[in-house]
Structure 1
Amino acid sequence: MLSLRTVQVNRYVTPLREGGSLPGIAEADDGFLYVVKFRGAGQGCKALIAELLGGEIARKLGFKIPEIVFAQLDEAFGRTEGDEEIQDLLRASEGGNLALHYLSGALTYDPAVITVDATLASKIVWLDSFIMNVDRTCRNTNMLWWKKELWLIDHGAAFYFHHSWDNPEKQAQSPFSMIKDHVLLPQASELAIVNETYQQLLTPTFFEEVVSLIPDEWLLVDAPFATIAEHRNAYVQFLTNRLSAATIFINQANHARETLI
Structure 2
Amino acid sequence: MKKIDIRTVNVTQYLQPLREGGSLPAIVKADDGFLYVLKFRGAGQGKKALISEFIGGELARAMGLKVPELVFMNLDDSFSKTEPDEEIQDLLKFSVGLNLGLHYLSSAITYDPLVSKVDAFTASKVVILDSLISNIDRTAKNTNLLNWKDELWVIDNGASFYFHHNWQTWENHLTRTFPLIKDHVLLAKATVLEEASSAVKKLITKDVIAEIISKIPEDWLINEGDFLNPTEIRAAYNTFLNAKLAMIDELVKEAENAR
> May I ask how many residue pairs the two structures share in their alignment?
256
Q: Measure, in 1, the Cα distance between the counterparts of 2:235 and 2:187.
A: 32
> Within 2, Cα distance between the matches of 1:168 and 1:189?
32
TM-score (norm 2): 0.95
- Correspondence list, 1:51-66, <5 A: 51-66=53-68
C-alpha displacement of 1:72:
0.4
Match of 2:37 among 35, 38, 42: 35
Cα separation, 1, equivalents of 2:220 and 2:119: 38
Distance in 2 of aligned mates of 1:115 and 1:34? 25
Identity over aligned pairs, percent: 54
- State the alpha-carbon separation in 2 of the partners of residues 165 and 61 from structure 1: 28
CA deviation profile, 1:120-163 (whole Å, cap 9, x unmatched):
21111111111111111111111111112111111111111111
Is residue 2:202 matched to residue 1:184?
Answer: no
Match of 1:230 in 2: 232
Cα contact 1:172–1:245 (8 A) shared by 2 = no
Gaps of 5+ in 2: none
Which residue identity does 1:37 align to in structure 2? K
Residue type of the partner of 2:90? Answer: D
Distance in 1 between residues matched to 2:69 and 2:121, nearest whole Å:
24
Aligned to 2:204: 202
- Contact 1:109–1:144 (8 Å) recurs in 2: yes
CA positional deviation for 1:166: 4.6
Q: Match for residue 108 of structure 1?
A: 110
Deviations 1:208-259 (A, max 9, x none): 110011111111114311x3211111111111111001122222211211xx
Q: Which residue of 2 aligns with 1:89?
A: 91
CA contact (8 A) 2:147 2:153 kept: yes
Q: TM-score, normalising length from structure 1?
A: 0.95
Within a 5 Å distance, the mapping from 1:141-156 to structure 2 comes to 141-156=143-158
CA distance in 1, matches of 2:168, 2:151: 38
Q: Is the 8 A contact 2:168 2:227 kept in 1?
A: no
Distance 1:129 1:147, change over 3 A: same
Residue type of the alignment partner of 2:45: Q
Q: How far apart, in 1, do the equivalents of 2:200 and 2:170 lie?
A: 22
Report which stretch shifted further, 248-257 or 100-109.
248-257
Partner of 1:255: 257
- Structure-1 residue corresponding to 2:166: 164
Residue 157 of structure 2 corresponds to residue 137 of structure 1: no
CA contact (8 A) 2:49 2:158 kept: yes
Unpaired segments ≥5 residues, structure 1: none
Q: Distance in 2 between matches of 1:120 and 1:73?
A: 35
Contact 2:146 2:154 (C-alpha < 8 Å) held by counterparts? yes
Secondary structure of 2:38's counterpart equals strand
Question: Do the aligned residues in 2 keep the contact of 1:142 with 1:154 (CA within 8 Å)?
Answer: yes
Any conservation in 2 of the 1:12–1:27 contact (CA below 8 Å)? Answer: yes
